[in-house]
């Protein structure tokens, strides 16, 4: 699992930063979190391939997080997409998309599966992970996201299997899937006899525009990779409060309360040409902090 930052600017683009958009890469799939203006341009620059987009998850209905979505949908259309596309976000997202596409007289050859969320609930669940949404504290309804992989099976011990009489390699896979087998001698061998302890899955969490809040702490709990907005420095903490944003120091405090394993700051006000000052304010509260960079890929 890895993350590519396609846009890290707050409110408006700069000559070096695009609007909010994050690509989460996992086993051939790409999940987009937010889709600000010209996101499809940054996506193409990143060389990710439009066929890989498996879902788009919007945090709130401010333009710098959603106006790039119609263009992204049209780019997917032009790339020949036919598979349904899952889109999730806050209320009014579906009305915005349907109305925009209608007025642009744009038809799509693929289905949009749109769901709207305003509370802590599951958005998507597969055999390998669960994606949940949770409420944040912005000026308008906003949600954050948490993708948590299910635990992975432990390491298969070939020597232990042979000691139990399992000699057919085809039965190794059965045991690895968590099913018991019967040896040629008639002995029942349980997976617990040959498998090591299960391994914890990875957790990615994303909190865009929000004041520091309990919802952000819940989403980031124990996250391996916690992306949190940090629009301002402490010199503008009052402005952050009134506009529904966080300072870098506040983001660090949220990550510390959540016991996250790693914090990555994003959504920087254009006033900060150098975000080093934001990192300096965050580190005393949370040393494991980094700043997002345009088109940089980071491993989760």
- Chain segment 48-98, per-residue pLDDT in tens: 999 999 999 999 999 999 999 999 999 999 999 999 999 999 999 999 999
Encode burial over 81-103: b for 16+ CB neighbours within 10 A, e otherwise: beeebbbbbbeebeebbeeebee
Higher pLDDT, 174 or 224: 224
pLDDT score of 173 more than 90: no
pLDDT at 156: 87
Domain-wise residue ranges, the chain: 2-152+200-299, 158-193
Q: Is the pLDDT of residue 239 over 90?
A: yes
CB neighbour class for 160 (10 Å; exposed up to 12, middle 13-18, buried from 19): middle
HEC string of 159-206 equals HHHHHCCCCCHHHHHHHHCCCCEECCCCCEECHHHCECCCECCCEEEE
- Tell me what pLDDT residue 8 has: 98
Q: Which residues are catalytic?
A: 64
The yes or no reply on domain 2-152+200-299 and CATH 3.60.15.10 is yes
| pLDDT tens string 272-294 | 999 999 999 999 999 999 999 99
Q: Is the pLDDT score of 40 beyond 90?
A: yes
Q: From CA 298, how far away is CA 158, in angstroms rounded?
A: 34
Give the span between the Cα atoms of 136 and 284, in whole angstroms. 25
* Mean pLDDT over each residue of the chain, to the nearest integer: 96
How far apart are alpha carbons 272 and 280 in whole angstroms?
13
CA–CA separation, 148 and 201 (whole Å): 7
CA atoms within 13 A on the CB side of 179: 8
Look at residue 176 in the predicted model and tell me its pLDDT. Answer: 81
């Amino acid at each position: 699992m890895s993350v590519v930052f396609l846009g890290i600017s707050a409110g408006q683009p700069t000559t070096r930063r695009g609007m909010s958009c994050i690509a989460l890469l996992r086993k051939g799939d790409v999940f987009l979190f937010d889709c600000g203006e010209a996101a499809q341009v940054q996506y193409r620059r990143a060389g990710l391939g439009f066929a890989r987009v498996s879902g788009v998850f919007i945090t709130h209905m401010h333009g710098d997080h959603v106006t790039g979505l119609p263009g992204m949908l049209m780019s997917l259309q032009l790339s020949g997409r036919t598979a349904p596309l899952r889109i999730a976000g806050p209320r009014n997202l579906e009305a915005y998309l349907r109305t925009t596409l209608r007025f642009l007289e744009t038809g799509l050859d693929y289905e949009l599966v749109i769901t709207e969320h305003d509370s802590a609930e599951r958005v998507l669940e597969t055999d390998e992970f669960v994606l949940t949404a949770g409420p944040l504290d912005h000026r308008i309804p906003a949600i954050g996201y948490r993708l948590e992989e299910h635990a992975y099976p432990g390491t298969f011990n070939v020597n232990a299997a042979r000691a139990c009489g399992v000699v057919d390699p085809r039965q190794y896979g059965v045991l690895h899937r968590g099913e018991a087998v019967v040896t040629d001698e008639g002995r029942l061998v349980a997976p617990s006899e040959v498998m090591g302890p299960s391994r914890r899955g990875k957790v990615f969490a994303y909190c865009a525009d929000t004041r520091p809040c309990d919802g952000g702490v819940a989403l980031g709990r124990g996250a391996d990779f916690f992306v949190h907005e940090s629009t301002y420095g402490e010199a503008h903490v009052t402005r952050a409060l009134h506009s529904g944003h966080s300072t870098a120091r506040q983001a660090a405090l949220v990550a510390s309360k959540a016991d996250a394993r790693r914090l990555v700051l994003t959504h920087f006000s254009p006033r900060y040409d150098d975000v080093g000052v934001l990192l300096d304010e965050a580190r005393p509260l949370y040393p494991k902090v980094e700043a997002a960079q345009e088109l940089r890929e980071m491993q989760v």
